[in-house]
């Protein structure tokens, strides 16, 4: 058994209203909402019908339902804000499409097509009209990403764009050809340092470009090295500056090590009045929250004039005539010094080189010199006893 129920009365009434409304529905808009990109051209496509036998007198678009002083809806094409940008693409029969170019936020409005026929009292205002929303684009990205991570950048609009154009991306104003992700997203997989930069997005074949957003790629220190200033020869007494350079983001903290011992921090390590005991290996260590790295060691080669010079007699200073005694000059200098031998109260040297064979009695000294200075030793006494005397002495 089935019960057939007739629809309740109010529903029938609604259907009737709808039908009546449909008959008057004389203007069709392809899109009743248009979301357009700033500065783009918007096509509002539209068709209309009118009772047969009537003739179309006027067709135009308006953006208000309020009549002006002449009891008319203002003609948008005569509005100075629009006249240069509005183009009627349709005809006077059924197509009422227009193009509005260089849209701005000020164009966000309802727009209606209107037409009048030769039947004076029939003036059609094409409800419901087209609502226009104008959006810009904004890049949404994390402020910073760590090297190796992946990151997704989104090109956001305030409304869903009616024109489904392809998104394009720029880094530092250069178009990115690779890795364009689906939709409005750019996926950077395993981010590299080179990916840092200012990102903006746009739509293909549109002039508008979003403001750029900085993507900061952080990474541990790399290429850590020490440079010495002044470059070239360092002489005792000089002031020397060691600089540690490293590439890292965020900037690293620098520590200095001399032969493995911590001696200071900061990018610059200065030594004033350098002395030879600074001749050692220096290293800097660069560290941020992502890691640390040490430089290669640099050795300071400090030049200094001869110092702590002395003469040493190999054997006894007392020899027998005919024999010789070897004198050895020792000194400390950098670079190694040249040694000259002198006999006291004689102006010209008696020999050169580190050792000297004395054959005669006298007081001998050596003098060491390099390009940074010279130093003279104390004199040592050599006594040569005559063989006879010696024999005599031996007797
Ligand atoms: C408007 O569109 C509807 C559905 O597509 C169609 O039935 C109707 O005839 C159209 N009206 C006009 C005036 O084009
Ligand atoms: C609306 O203005 C345009 C531009 O001045 C003009 O060409 C057109 O005829 C006008 N339409 C009506 C119905 O006044
Ligand atoms: C209306 O005119 C425009 C521009 O000439 C055209 O692109 C569009 O296809 C036309 N629409 C219809 C429904 O004929
Ligand atoms: C708007 O578009 C025009 C070309 O259609 C272009 O010359 C102009 O630079 C654009 N303006 C802006 C602000 O993008
Ligand atoms: C990147 O972010 C870090 C902080 O996380 C900051 O110290 C650094 O200056 C930023 N670098 C750039 C290029 O903006
Ligand atoms: C430099 O150091 C030496 C000893 O190492 C000292 O004799 C000299 O006075 C110092 N000079 C200055 C300018 O401090
Ligand atoms: C280096 O030598 C100077 C004197 O020549 C001395 O005052 C200083 O303490 C020494 N420094 C080191 C690290 O040995
Ligand atoms: C000192 O003399 C001895 C023997 O004459 C020799 O073997 C030695 O090498 C000499 N020492 C130096 C430092 O010349
Ligand atoms: C050598 O000179 C010193 C002073 O320069 C002097 O005292 C000494 O008597 C002189 N010796 C000889 C042997 O002339």
Tokens of 141: 């990205």
pLDDT for the residue 6: 47
Cα 44 versus chain centre, distance: 44
Q: Which domains does the chain show, CATH number per domain?
A: 22-134 (2.60.40.10), 138-211 (2.60.40.10), 221-300 (2.60.40.10), 304-392 (2.60.40.10)
- 28 in contact with ligand 3, CB cutoff 6 A: no
Which residue owns the Cα nearest ligand 4 atom 12? 208
Q: Which of 27, 44, 97, 98 to mutate to test the pocket of ligand 3 (most atoms within 8 A of CB)?
A: 97
- 97 in contact with ligand 2, CB cutoff 6 A: no
CA–centroid distance, residue 61 to ligand 2 (Å): 9
Q: Which of 141, 143, 144 to mutate to test the pocket of ligand 5 (most atoms within 8 A of CB)?
A: 144
- Which residues are CB-contacts of 354 (< 8 A; sequence separation ≥ 6)? 328, 329, 330, 339
pLDDT for the residue 231: 87
| Cis? peptide before 7, omega within 30° of 0 | no
Tokens of 201: 């997005």
CA dihedral 269, 275, 281, 287 (to 10 degrees): -10
CA–centroid distance, residue 277 to ligand 7 (Å): 6
Q: Which of 345, 362, 364, 365 to mutate to test the pocket of ligand 9 (most atoms within 8 A of CB)?
A: 345
Give the residue ranges of the chain where pLDDT is below 70: 1-25, 120-123, 178-182, 317, 387-395
Tokens of 89: 């693409």
Specify which residues 182 forms β-bridges with: none
d(CA 240, CA 234): 8
Tally the residues of the chain. 395
pLDDT for the residue 273: 92
- Which residues are CB-contacts of 25 (< 8 A; sequence separation ≥ 6)? none
Check if the beta carbon of residue 30 is closer than 8 Å to that of residue 130.
Answer: no
């Amino acid at each position: 058994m089935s019960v057939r129920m007739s629809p309740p009365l109010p529903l029938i009434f609604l259907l009737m209203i709808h039908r009546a409304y449909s008959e008057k529905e004389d203007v069709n808009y392809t899109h009743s909402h248009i979301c357009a990109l700033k500065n783009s051209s918007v096509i509002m496509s539209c068709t209309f019908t009118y009772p047969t036998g009537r003739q179309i007198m006027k067709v135009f678009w308006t953006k208000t339902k309020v009549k002006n002083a002449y009891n008319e809806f203002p003609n948008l094409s005569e509005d100075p804000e629009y006249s240069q940008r509005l183009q009627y693409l349709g005809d006077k029969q059924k197509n009422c499409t227009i193009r509005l170019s260089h849209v701005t936020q000020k164009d966000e409005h309802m727009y209606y097509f209107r037409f009048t026929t030769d039947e004076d009292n029939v003036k059609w205002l094409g409800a419901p009209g087209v609502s226009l929303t104008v959006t810009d684009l904004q890049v949404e990205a994390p402020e910073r990403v760590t090297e190796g991570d992946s990151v997704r950048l989104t090109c956001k609009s305030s409304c869903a764009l009616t024109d489904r154009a392809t998104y394009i991306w720029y880094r530092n104003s250069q178009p990115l050809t690779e890795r364009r992700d689906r939709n409005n997203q750019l996926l950077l997989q395993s981010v590299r340092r080179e990916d840092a930069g200012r990102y903006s997005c746009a739509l293909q074949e549109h002039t508008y470009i979003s403001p750029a957003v900085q993507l900061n790629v952080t990474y541990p220190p790399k290429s850590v090295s020490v440079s010495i200033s002044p470059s070239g020869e360092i002489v005792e007494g000089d002031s020397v500056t060691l600089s540690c350079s490293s590439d890292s983001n965020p900037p690293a903290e620098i520590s200095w090590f001399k032969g493995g011992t911590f001696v200071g921090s900061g990018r610059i390590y200065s030594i004033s009045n350098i002395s030879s005991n600074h001749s050692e290996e220096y290293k800097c260590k660069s560290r941020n929250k992502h890691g640390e790295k040490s430089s290669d060691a640099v050795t300071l080669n400090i030049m200094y004039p001869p110092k702590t010079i002395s003469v040493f007699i190999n054997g006894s200073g007392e020899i027998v005539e005919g024999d010789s005694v070897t004198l050895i000059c020792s000194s400390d200098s950098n670079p190694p010094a040249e040694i000259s031998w002198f006999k006291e109260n004689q102006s010209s040297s008696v020999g050169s080189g580190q050792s000297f064979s004395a054959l005669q009695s006298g007081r001998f000294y050596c003098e060491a010199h390099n390009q940074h200075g010279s130093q003279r030793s104390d004199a040592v006494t050599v006594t040569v006893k005559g063989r006879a005397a010696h024999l005599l002495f031996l007797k």
